[in-house]
Amino acid sequence: MGHFHHFDTLALHAGQTVDDEFGARATPIYQTTSYVFPDTDTASSIFNLERGGHAYSRITNPTVAVLEQRIAALEGGSAAVCTSSGMAATFCAITAILSQGDHIVASSQMYGGNISLMKNTLPRFGITTTFVDPADIEGFRAAIQDNTRLIYGELIGNPGLDILDLDAIGAISKEHHIPFMVDATFNTPYLCRCLDHGANITIHSVTKWMGGHGVAIGGVIVDGGNFDWGATDRYPTITEPYAPFSGLNLWDEFGPSAFAMRIRAEAMRDIGPSMSPMNAFLLLQGLETLSLRMNKHLSNTKMLLEFLSNHEQVSWVSHPDLPSHRSHKLAQKYLPKGAGSIISFGVKGGRDAGKAFIENVGLASHLANVGDAKTLVIHPATTTHSRIDAEALIAAGITEDMVRLSVGLEDVRDIEADFENGFRAAKKFVGD
Amino acid sequence: MICPPKGGIIAAHNTRKITMGFSTRQIHAGVTPDPLTGSILTPIYQTTTYVQPSVDGYLSKGYSYSRSGNPTVRALELKLTDLEGGVDASCFGTGMAAVQAVMLAFLNAGDHAIISDVAYGGTYRLCKQVLSRFGVEFSFVDGSDLKAVAAAVRDNTRLFLTETPANPTMKCSDIAGISKIARAAGAVHAVDNTFLTPYYQRPLELDADVSIHSTTKYMDGHNATVGGAVISARQEHADAVRFIQNSTGSIMSPQVAWLTLQGCKTMSLRMDAQSANAMAIAEYLEAHAKVKQVCYPGLKSFAQYELASRQASGYGAMLWFEVKGGLVAGKKLMDNIKVFSLAENLGSVESLITHPVTMTHAAVEKAERERVGIIDGLVRVSVGLEDVEDLIEALDKALAQV
């Protein structure tokens, strides 16, 4: 497959070799725990990472491997490891290189799960984080400490939709020789290949647009193969002998895939957040239509931005494709096809109006996921962020009238008609 | 026809030298480690089509299109072939699809079939309301009465279909006796072996030609899938069924086949445990003052106890009973009972309770139901794998409310 390199072809074919036994056109679902070894020597060489091969589905699985190779190809990375969820991907990627006493510089605008991981969970293991406004490039530089081992951000931030200046932060990462890890869930490789802009590792919740149908939870870590782990002694998990594998040196053995191999050898083996083969199959199926779906997500987003911007009951609309957004220029640079299909907007009438809107739309589903084929809405002030006070809401970039919208693939006329029902119900709160 | 066997234990059955025990074969037959990866389980080949190596090499790997054959479904077919002691099998989307394929394979317009007069309501409906439209004639005959079966044979009789024990009356038919009559008539004898599975009863060893299953029942065992199978003793019969299957497109999905492959691995364990539960429940019910009658082949009081014991090695986990007070009392019991679910289906680990007259056998006319013993007050029980103490306690409480 090496000679194909265009996106849609890779999305359909990368990673799959038609099985030699029967020639099945679709990837078989290897719903199995284990693999019968032909002999003990082969078994021991697979166990010692001396040769490829499958031993146990917690560590590798042939169906999951197709998804891993396909995503690596789409991202332009050297290797990928799939995990049972997007959060598992973030956790495994960070802990593969950071240990007690290490430090992260991260964007302050991220998914709540990522913030919580860095703010609450990782400090329990001696890993601390300094959060920086994604628009404050110099702030990233200033936050770097002697023990900083990772720079982390989301290309399209959550919930303010600020765009990370990848090239600028990539340059800082290079200058200080610290790997730059980007959560690319909201953009997918179809809208932007972050590895081409200074990122060294990307993370995805494959649950979202990559899978695209809201049927399976999964995550992936893509090794960019573009970071020189051996240039310093700061990354001993990659460059020093790994005792459990008879002192194997991952950097010497696997070079550009050493980081992915560390995750495979440690996180998959000792922690075990593996993706199930059935989920991999469903997510592979989703990936086959990624560009088609993204184009439709984006064209619907464009039409809804216009609809909402012109609606008398909408107090504000936020999306990086709007010139009014503070990241508009960065969106044009990194996301020329469109800056994703998440829109946030304010319903005139405040908290009660936002709530009434959500309760009176029917086609749009009220739930916490994003990136489904179906249109999803949520009112953060009464749900995801209901336990924090008004002041903290502002700090998180959330207003009481805010509705977050994940634009689906329905006919946009039906989405608009549905929203009119919500606006009608919200109308009585206007002027309160 | 176009699906090659995969060697391994199957090779043993092809030469009719089955040496391993049932529990070993229910786990291993049909399944060989994937040659590519060593995967101990057969992968789920959720694929429509198969890439051919060349025009001349078409079908050289055995598969072309998943209607005609699929490697995951094939593994299940080979397993069931082995367990029933046949030469080949086809799996279907439902048990009814399997019954229909057998009828279409062996009956033409103008032909006649003899059906045991108690059979699943769906089988009865297929004969009376569907195949009769295509000029096939049916006689519904008491399969326990060999003289009546022989008397029903006509010049154009081409198929005998026996369901034993019958759903829901538990009436047993003499498989070997009917096979003899069928052979003399030059007709095919098909046996619906769903209630007992090949673990307890192997019709092909009793000279039947074809064994039919709703794999939905004890083979799956977990209420997870709907499926069917036809296992043949002779290759020409298997080919005829496969031809109908490929022509009418009645197939099992790879996902269903894979789940059924897993279910089969514990079939003997479940059958033994569920049958033991059924025996205990039958004895409990028989001794209960509010119960008018209990029908379970394992009870000495069962009218055909001798036949049931002779042609099968177990009695299964299906039984029925009638509460004193008939339909009204029976309905009250079914509406109030805990643990048992009021539901169709049978053979699963969950205990189910069913009212055939309103549910599974509603398609059978009242007069015909009464003629064959499906009385209004008949309560059918599919005994599951729960602790028998809990099942009996649930029955006890429900009976107390009657």
Q: Which domains occur in chain B, in start order?
A: 9-264 (3.40.640.10), 267-400 (3.90.1150.10)
Nearest to A182 by CA among A190, A192, A174: A192
In this complex, do A25 and B52 lie within 8 Å of one another by their Cβ atoms?
no
Radius of gyration over every alpha carbon of chain B, rounded to an integer in angstroms = 21
Same domain, A105 and A185: yes
In this complex, do B37 and A281 lie within 8 Å of one another by their Cβ atoms?
no
From chain B residues 246-305, the ones with a CB under 8 A of any chain A CB are 258
Dist. CA A101–CA B210, nearest whole Å: 71
Dist. CA A339–CA A64, nearest whole Å: 29
- Which residues on B lie below 8 Å from A19 (Cβ)? 36
Residue A159: cis peptide before it, omega within 30 degrees of 0: yes
Same domain, A244 and A260: yes
Listing DSSP states for B297-311 in one string gives TTSTTSTTHHHHHHH
Active site residue B305: no
Same domain, A132 and A166: yes
Active site residue B292: no
Dist. CA B163–CA A285, nearest whole Å: 43
From chain B residues 56-75, the ones with a CB under 8 A of any chain A CB are 61-63, 71
pLDDT-derived band at B12, boundaries 50, 70, 90: very low
Active site residue B192: yes
Reply yes or no on whether the pLDDT at B361 is more than 90: no
Name the average pLDDT for chain B: 92
Same domain, A257 and A384: no
pLDDT value, residue A72: 98
Dist. CA B310–CA B298, nearest whole Å: 12
Q: Please tell me what DSSP assigns to residue B129.
A: I
In this complex, do A32 and B52 lie within 8 Å of one another by their Cβ atoms?
no
Q: Are A106 and A131 in contact, with CB atoms under 8 Å apart?
A: yes
B52 → chain A, closest CA residue: A23
pLDDT value, residue A197: 98
pLDDT value, residue A395: 67
In this complex, do A29 and B62 lie within 8 Å of one another by their Cβ atoms?
no
Reply yes or no on whether the pLDDT at A168 is more than 50: yes
Dist. CA A165–CA A136, nearest whole Å: 10
Mean of pLDDT values over B321-347: 92
Say if A9 falls within a structural domain: no
Count of CB atoms situated within 10 Å of the CB of B149: 26
Provide the strand spans (E) within A36-163. 79-83, 103-107, 128-132, 148-154
Q: How many angstroms away from the CA of A39 is the closest CA of chain B?
A: 11
H-state helical runs in A122-257: 137-143, 166-176, 188-191, 236-239, 250-254
Same domain, A243 and A341: no
pLDDT value, residue A388: 66
Same domain, A139 and A265: yes
A278 → chain B, closest CA residue: B44
Q: Could you tell me if B48 lies within 8 Å of chain A, comparing CB atoms? A: yes
Q: B352 has which bridge partners?
A: B341, B382
H-state helical runs in A248-349: 250-254, 258-262, 277-287, 290-309, 328-334
- Identify from B44, B59, B73, B258 which residue to disrupt to test chain A contact, counting A C-beta atoms within 10 A and taking the largest count: B44
pLDDT value, residue A398: 80
Dist. CA A107–CA A103, nearest whole Å: 13
Residue B165: cis peptide before it, omega within 30 degrees of 0: yes
Predicted ipTM of the assembly: 0.78
Mean of pLDDT values over A24-41: 91
CATH number of residue A243's parent domain:
3.40.640.10
Lowest mean pLDDT of A218-222, B17-21, B66-70, B324-328, name the range. Answer: B17-21
Q: Are B135 and B113 in contact, with CB atoms under 8 Å apart?
A: no
pLDDT one-digit tens code per residue, B270-316: 999 999 999 999 999 999 999 999 999 999 999 999 999 999 999 99
Q: Least CB-CB distance to B44: which of A19, A28, A35? A: A28
Lowest mean pLDDT of A89-93, A164-168, B81-85, B244-248, name the range. Answer: B244-248
B338: helix, coil or strand? coil
Reply yes or no on whether the pLDDT at A113 is more than 80: yes
- Which residues on B lie below 8 Å from A54 (Cβ)? 37-39
Q: From the candidates B67, B183, B234, B292, which is the catalytic residue?
A: B67
Higher pLDDT, A176 or A109: A176
Count of CB atoms situated within 10 Å of the CB of A350: 18
The domain boundary, picked from A287, A304, A322, lies at A287
Reply yes or no on whether the pLDDT at A397 is more than 80: no
Lowest mean pLDDT of A4-13, B177-186, B254-263, name the range. Answer: A4-13
Single-letter amino acid code for the residue at B206: L
pLDDT-derived band at A112, boundaries 50, 70, 90: confident
A391: helix, coil or strand? helix
Name the average pLDDT for chain A: 93
Q: Are A263 and A269 in contact, with CB atoms under 8 Å apart?
A: no
pLDDT one-digit tens code per residue, A202-258: 999 999 999 999 899 999 999 999 999 999 999 999 999 998 888 999 999 999 999
Residue B254: cis peptide before it, omega within 30 degrees of 0: no
Q: Could you tell me if B36 lies within 8 Å of chain A, comparing CB atoms? A: yes
Q: Are B34 and A21 in contact, with CB atoms under 8 Å apart?
A: yes
The domain boundary, picked from A230, A252, A287, lies at A287
Same domain, A179 and A245: yes
- Which residues on A lie below 8 Å from B41 (Cβ)? 30-33
pLDDT-derived band at A396, boundaries 50, 70, 90: low
Going from the C-alpha of B274 to that of each of B261, B268, B334, the distances in angstroms are 20, 10, 20
Nearest to A47 by CA among A39, A70, B255: A39
Q: Helix B254-264 crosses helix B71-84 at what angle (to 10 degrees)?
A: 40
In this complex, do B37 and A33 lie within 8 Å of one another by their Cβ atoms?
no
Dist. CA A245–CA A253, nearest whole Å: 12
| Phi-psi domain of A230 (left: phi exceeds 0; alpha: psi -120 through 50; beta: other) | alpha
Structural tokens at position A359: 């309760």
Q: From the candidates B202, B217, B270, B331, which is the catalytic residue?
A: B217
End-to-end CA distance of chain A: 62
Dist. CA A276–CA A58, nearest whole Å: 9
pLDDT value, residue A393: 74
B54 → chain A, closest CA residue: A23
Dist. CA B238–CA B241, nearest whole Å: 5
- Which residues on B lie below 8 Å from A279 (Cβ)? none
pLDDT-derived band at A3, boundaries 50, 70, 90: low
Same domain, A261 and A331: no
Q: Least CB-CB distance to A32: which of B39, B53, B62? A: B39
Active site residue B120: yes
- Identify from B6, B36, B253, B261 which residue to disrupt to test chain A contact, counting A C-beta atoms within 10 A and taking the largest count: B36
Same domain, A266 and A381: no
Nearest to A344 by CA among A288, A290, A273, A404: A404
Instruction: Please list, in sequence order, all residues whose beta carbon lies within 8 angstroms of the beta carbon of residue A68, skipping any fewer than 6 positions away.
Output: A15, A79, A80, A81, A82, A220
Mean of pLDDT values over B197-215: 98
In this complex, do A33 and B40 lie within 8 Å of one another by their Cβ atoms?
yes
CATH number of residue A372's parent domain:
3.90.1150.10
Q: Which helix (H) or strand (E) holds B71?
A: helix B71-84
Say if A6 falls within a structural domain: no
- Chain A residues whose C-beta is within 8 A of a chain B C-beta are 18-38, 53-54, 62-63, 278, 281
- Identify from B3, B28, B41, B47 which residue to disrupt to test chain A contact, counting A C-beta atoms within 10 A and taking the largest count: B47
Q: Which helix (H) or strand (E) holds A238?
A: helix A236-239
Q: How many angstroms away from the CA of A36 is the closest CA of chain B?
A: 4
Reply yes or no on whether the pLDDT at B1 is more than 80: no
Q: Which helix (H) or strand (E) holds A202?
A: strand A201-205
Dist. CA B139–CA B127, nearest whole Å: 10
Mean of pLDDT values over B312-321: 98
Say if A1 falls within a structural domain: no
Nearest to A269 by CA among A60, A32, A42, A40: A60
pLDDT value, residue A20: 84
Q: Are A179 and A97 in contact, with CB atoms under 8 Å apart?
A: yes
Say if A252 falls within a structural domain: yes
Same domain, A353 and A255: no
Q: Least CB-CB distance to A32: which of B40, B47, B51? A: B40
A53 → chain B, closest CA residue: B37
Structural domain total, chain A: 2
Reply yes or no on whether the pLDDT at B14 is more than 70: no
In this complex, do A28 and B258 lie within 8 Å of one another by their Cβ atoms?
no
Q: Are A399 and A381 in contact, with CB atoms under 8 Å apart?
A: yes
Range of the domain at A31: 14-287
Say if A124 falls within a structural domain: yes
**pTM across the whole model:** 0.87
Q: Are B166 and B318 in contact, with CB atoms under 8 Å apart?
A: no
Reply yes or no on whether the pLDDT at B11 is more than 70: no
A38 → chain B, closest CA residue: B38
In this complex, do B40 and A34 lie within 8 Å of one another by their Cβ atoms?
yes
The domain boundary, picked from A223, A254, A287, lies at A287
Q: From the candidates B82, B88, B142, B192, which is the catalytic residue?
A: B192
Reply yes or no on whether the pLDDT at B8 is more than 60: no
- Identify from B3, B6, B34 which residue to disrupt to test chain A contact, counting A C-beta atoms within 10 A and taking the largest count: B34
Q: Give the Cα-Cα-Cα angle A51, A52, A55 (nearest 5 degrees).
A: 105
Same domain, A315 and A282: no
Q: A405 has which bridge partners?
A: A343, A377
Nearest to B69 by CA among A18, A278, A22: A22
Reply yes or no on whether the pLDDT at A44 is more than 90: no
Q: Please tell me what DSSP assigns to residue B128.
A: I
Q: Are A163 and A331 in contact, with CB atoms under 8 Å apart?
A: yes
- Identify from B6, B31, B34, B39 which residue to disrupt to test chain A contact, counting A C-beta atoms within 10 A and taking the largest count: B39
Q: Least CB-CB distance to B50: which of A23, A31, A54? A: A23
Say if A182 falls within a structural domain: yes
Same domain, A203 and A342: no
Say if A5 falls within a structural domain: no
